[in-house]
């Protein structure tokens, strides 16, 4: 299991779409408004796969699909796009999870990848 901590929530990061954009602390300023910034706690590699779990605080989500670049991008720059939907799409950087409801997020909250 790999754990990160939310350090910043962009003012437009949470909206009516069931999507969250995650980035690490090397995020460029033009993406700050629409992103959730996370900091890795420890050096374990993120290895999400179908059937895994993504946990925001105490809110648990089932992983239904992981794009071919998602784990690599999460480990290198902390970036992935999380889609809260049943259908698995084709976004190379996407992580598809259910239930189809955004988690309640706050700065300091832990995200667990397992």
Token reading at 78: 């902390």
Using a cut of 0.85, tell me whether the model's pTM lies above it: yes
Supply the pLDDT for residue 105. 98
User: Does residue 105 contact residue 5 with C-beta atoms inside 8 Å?
Assistant: no
Supply the pLDDT for residue 90. 96
Q: How many CB atoms lie within 10 A of CB 91?
A: 17
* Per-residue confidence band for 59, with pLDDT thresholds at 50, 70 and 90: very high
* Per-residue confidence band for 21, with pLDDT thresholds at 50, 70 and 90: very high
Q: Percentages helix, strand, coil for the chain, rounded to the nearest 5?
A: 10, 40, 50
């Amino acid at each position: 299991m790999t754990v990160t901590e939310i350090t910043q929530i962009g003012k437009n990061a949470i909206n009516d779409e069931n999507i969250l954009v995650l980035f690490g602390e090397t995020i460029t300023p033009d993406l700050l408004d629409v992103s959730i910034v996370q900091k890795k706690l420890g050096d374990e590699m993120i290895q999400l796969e179908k059937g895994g779990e993504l946990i925001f605080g105490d809110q648990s989500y089932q992983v239904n699909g992981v794009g071919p670049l998602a784990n690599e991008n999460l480990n290198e720059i902390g970036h992935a796009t999380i889609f809260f939907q049943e259908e698995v799409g084709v976004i190379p950087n996407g992580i598809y999870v259910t239930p189809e409801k955004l988690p309640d997020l706050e700065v300091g909250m832990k995200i667990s990848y397992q």
